[in-house]
Structure 1
Amino acid sequence: MRNTALALALLLAAPLTLSTPSAHANPFGGYKTGTEITQKQMDAAEVGKTTQDQIREAYGAPSRREQLGDTQIWYYDYVNIKHFGKNVQEATVFEFNKKGLLSAKSKSNAVGKTGNPLIDAANGK
């Protein structure tokens, strides 16, 4: 009986020990999508000095783009739906002038309807 209980415990624990490193970072599951850009990373991008190429190299292609006159706006959306705690839904915004230099940067705490049914449902959209 004791050996059966031990074997069952080892069998149940095996998926936890064989899981990927990202599963260890969030052991309760959840869902992440997009590009997370921290405040420290935003602070490193200097207005008037950082180029579009440097932003693209650091974070990849933006989730969305807009052209308003001579200003190009790049959005990096990030969503982290957690099983426990507060969900994170934000957009990091970089604006570039016609020379391709960063002219403004900001972060919003809301992203519009994403088109992803899971994310939109979790956010009540």
Structure 2
Amino acid sequence: MRALALALILATPLAVSTTSAHANPFGGYTTGIEITQQQMDTLEIGKTTQNNVREKFGAPGRREQLGDTQVWYYDYVKIKHFGKNVQEATVLEFNKQGVLTAKSKSNAVGKTGNPLIDAANGK
């Protein structure tokens, strides 16, 4: 019996470490790509290209073509057990040459396609 109890105690950290990459040890849940304000500040309008952004952050979760402007959206959601949830979108606009023309952050994103997150956000 003691051997079984010891085996369970030793196996618990292994079971916790193999959970989803989006779950943290305190039960929070994240999805998307977080782009901090410091990272936003490194993106220079008129100089930064789509390739620079893709190398730094990966492909955007959403894209939209508005005339000659291509808009990239990097959505990020963090659902916490304690404290305020985070739901934001980083929006980057590029001209037809693929050069950054505008950048902004919003504090809300639309439907994410993830039922858990959409339900938590009332969508």
TM-score by length of 2: 0.84
Distance 2:66 2:36 in 1: 26
SS in 2 for 1:79: strand
Q: Please say if 1:82 is aligned against 2:107.
A: no
Counterpart in the other structure of 1:15: 12
Report the RMSD for the aligned CA atoms in angstroms. 2.4
Greater helix share, structure number: 1
Superposition deviation, residue 83 in structure 1: 1.1
Residues in 2 aligned to 1:110 and 1:55: alpha-carbon distance in whole angstroms? 21
* TM-score, scaled relative to structure 1: 0.83
- What is the alpha-carbon distance in structure 2 between the residues aligned to residue 65 and residue 59 of structure 1? 14
The alignment partner of 1:40 has SS state of helix
Q: What residue ranges of structure 2 are gaps of 5+ in the alignment?
A: none
Residue 43 of structure 2 corresponds to which residue in structure 1?
45
Give the C-alpha shift of residue 100 in structure 1: 0.7
Q: Identity of paired residues, percent?
A: 73
In the TM superposition, residue 9 of structure 1 has moved relative to its aligned partner by 8.0
2:60 counterpart residue number: 62
Q: Secondary structure at the match of 1:114?
A: coil
Aligned equivalent of 1:111: 109
Q: What is the number of residues matched between the two proteins?
A: 121
Unaligned runs of 5+ in 1: none
1:76, 1:98 → 2: CA distance?
20
Query: Radius of gyration: which is bigger?
Result: 1
Aligned equivalents of 1:62, 1:81: Cα separation in 2: 21
2:58 and 2:14 mapped to 1: Cα distance? 32
Per the TM alignment, residue 30 of structure 1 is displaced from its structure 2 partner at its CA by: 1.6
Give the partner amino acid of 2:67: G
